[in-house]
Amino acid sequence: MKSYKELSDLRNVRVLVRADLDVAAENGAIVAPFRAQRQKPMVDHLVENGAGVVLVGHIAAVPTFKPLVRELESILGHAIAFAPTLEALVPGEPGSLQLLDNVRHYEGEKDNDAAFAALLSRGFDVYINNAFAVCHRDHASVTAITGLLPSYAGMLVEEETTQLQKAIDAPPEGKVIAVGGAKAQTKLPVVKNFLDKAEKILIGGVVANDILHELGRDMGSSLVDDNARELMSGLDLMSERLVIAEDFIISEGKALDIGPKTIEKFTDAIQSARMAIWNGPMGAFEDERFAQGTNALAHAIAGSDALSIIGGGDTISAVKKIGVLDQFSFVSTGGGAMLNFLAGERLPGLVALGYYA
Ligand code: ADP
Ligand code: MG
């Protein structure tokens, strides 16, 4: 994988950056700037070294970036020339920063269309992927574009892959991974991949329901994924490394949070960990009544000496809510991308950058 660092002279180089700007927004205002904030070091580096920079990205919460441009300027700390269309884009003035409106407007983006990628690449010298969170997508601004311009990994892609690779490669002794949340499809492959890579795998959330249901326990009317059974094939559910939630906070027949015994077991496991990796809330934490498991785990990891890696939109917002996010060693910007990476899958955006070569 070629690093942006190989671009030693950036003066007058016209750089197309796939940025991850997918912030949460409500009523025309950014409510969770985390992802855009993480773009700043890369943008600073390029602009300060005299490159002509164009950012492309998407924000799922809004149809157009237009109402958010001023806020993005203050997050990134640079004036932004906003290009509402591809035609309005003029790659660039040295030291300038332009932003193309939502790249997912273009059908060719999601279709990984070569003709669209060619349009996008016009006038640029190089391409930098600084959007780890979309590396699991086979999209034109992520993969097809790399066939058209000399392509480099940006700071954030380098940092994410380094940290998450460390999570996979570190020896199992003292490594604990906690998995919760919903969507068996993305979570169970991670559990599978870590079964021989971690000392303990703590399981809560809907994932615990799935496994206990499969083991024949009556989960009442708790949420269970329909496709969990097939996803569990080849997973040794009796493994001693799997620490599955055993008691629950139940409301109207539904297990909505892990119970006190499980909390104690999980927090004990964290206390002796050297590395803790966490994705997925332990319960339906949006309701205070079912947030205790998630909060206890967050406090345990934040307060431990373990190197801690956390990711997932809901997990991050749960941890942020109780104010301990800055006590984690590494916060991944990747939701799906992090999970696929941790499951040992090859991410198309990283394949395109030569990561696996
Ligand atoms: P992340 O965004 O961190 O990857 P997910 O999106 O997989 O996490 O899961 C978060 C969601 O899972 C939350 O909305 C939470 O309410 C829900 N959840 C967790 N545990 C349960 C449970 N036992 N029953 C119902 N919903 C749950
Ligand atoms: Mg989520």
Q: Tokens 């790659």 label which residue?
A: 91
Which ligand gives the minimal distance to the CA of 334? 1
pLDDT per residue over 178-207, tens digit each? 999 999 999 999 999 999 999 999 999 999
248-265 pLDDT per residue, tens: 999 999 999 999 999 999
Q: Is 335 in the pocket of ligand 1 (CB under 6 A)?
A: yes
- What tens digit of pLDDT does each residue of 203-252 get? 999 999 999 999 999 999 999 999 999 999 999 999 999 999 999 999 99
The ligand 1 atom at the shortest distance from the C-alpha of residue 315 is 3
Q: Which two tokens stand for residue 203?
A: 């399981």
Helices (H) and strands (E) in the chain, counts: 14, 16
| Residue to substitute in 217, 251, 314, 325 for testing ligand 1 pocket (most ligand atoms within 8 angstroms of CB) | 314
Contact 315, 293 (CB under 8 A): no
Ligand nearest to the CA of 183: 1
Confidence of residue 92 (pLDDT cuts 50, 70, 90): confident
Write phi, then psi, for 24 (nearest 5 degrees).
-85, 135
pTM over 0.85: yes
Cα-flanking dihedrals φ and ψ of residue 17, to 5°?
A: -110, 125
Question: How many CB atoms lie under 10 A from the CB of residue 334?
Answer: 28
Average of per-residue pLDDT across 148-176: 98
The C-alpha atoms of residue 324 and residue 322 are separated, in whole angstroms, by 6
Hey, what amino acid is at 91?
P
CB–CB of 176/270 below 8 Å?
yes
Res 93: pLDDT: 80
Distance from the alpha carbon of residue 191 to the mean position of ligand 1, in angstroms: 16
**Structure confidence at residue 5 as a pLDDT band (50, 70, 90):** very high
Q: Rounded distance, CA 139 to CA 110, Å?
A: 5
Chain segment 295-316, per-residue pLDDT in tens: 999 999 999 999 999 999 999 9
Q: Is the pLDDT of residue 95 over 90?
A: no
Q: In the prediction, which pLDDT does 334 show?
A: 95
Ligand 1 site, residue 293, Cβ cutoff 6 A = no
Specify the length of the chain in residues: 357
Other beta carbons less than 10 A from residue 306's beta carbon: 21
